[in-house]
Amino acid sequence: MKQVAYADLASLVGQEIGVSDWVEVSQERVNLFAEATGDHQWIHVDVERATKEIGGPIAHGYLTLSLIPMLGADILRVTGVTRGINYGCDKVRFTGMVRVGKKVRMRQKLVSVEPKAGGLQLKNECTIEIEGEERPACVAETISILYGA
């Protein structure tokens, strides 16, 4: 894990910050996400039907996207921060299916750091890769604001 001081964030712009550890996308995780969101589409939660019709269940695209904060915590620790907020996304694309049982990880690049609302607005390019596959599951440009101490 890389560590950087809040005041030094701009020095990382344009760089790949790092790569997270691999995390398995289990059926339990998919089912819990379905419960939390109300999205019980069979391709995600009906293991028997999904196996028969599409070769096995797949994770929700938004589940994949929701892993970004957890995976990002493995990549970068910013010191001197009192709080941070998710501000949104400029672009999100789901470019590959994550089959249940597969592992994913995130590759993160810091695109920009700009002053915003008394803090620093960070844009990151987050690419969620699927173990053993060429095509990533998701590419998202995320925006957050960090506030220094």
Q: What is the pLDDT of residue 109?
A: 98
**Average pLDDT of the chain to the nearest whole number:** 97
Cα first-last separation, the chain? 22
117 by Cβ neighbours in 10 Å (0-12 / 13-18 / 19+) ranks as: exposed
**Residue 47 belongs to a domain:** no
Quick one: pLDDT band at residue 84, thresholds 50, 70, 90?
Answer: very high
Q: Which domain holds residue 106?
A: 2-26+59-148
Q: What is the pLDDT of residue 5?
A: 96
Q: What is the pLDDT of residue 9?
A: 96
pLDDT tens column, 8-57: 999 999 999 999 999 999 999 999 999 999 999 999 999 999 999 999 99
CATH number at residue 134: 3.10.129.10
**Residue 31 belongs to a domain:** no
**Residue 37 belongs to a domain:** no
Q: What is the pLDDT of residue 136?
A: 98
Residue type, 16: E
**Residue 104 belongs to a domain:** yes
Which 8-state DSSP code applies to residue 98? -
Q: What is the pTM of this model?
A: 0.94
- Rounded to whole angstroms, the Cα distance separating 147 from 117 reads 9
**Residue 88 belongs to a domain:** yes
Q: What is the pLDDT of residue 29?
A: 98
**Residue 36 belongs to a domain:** no
**Residue 48 belongs to a domain:** no
pLDDT tens column, 91-137: 999 999 999 999 999 999 999 999 999 999 999 999 999 999 999 99
Domain count, the chain: 1
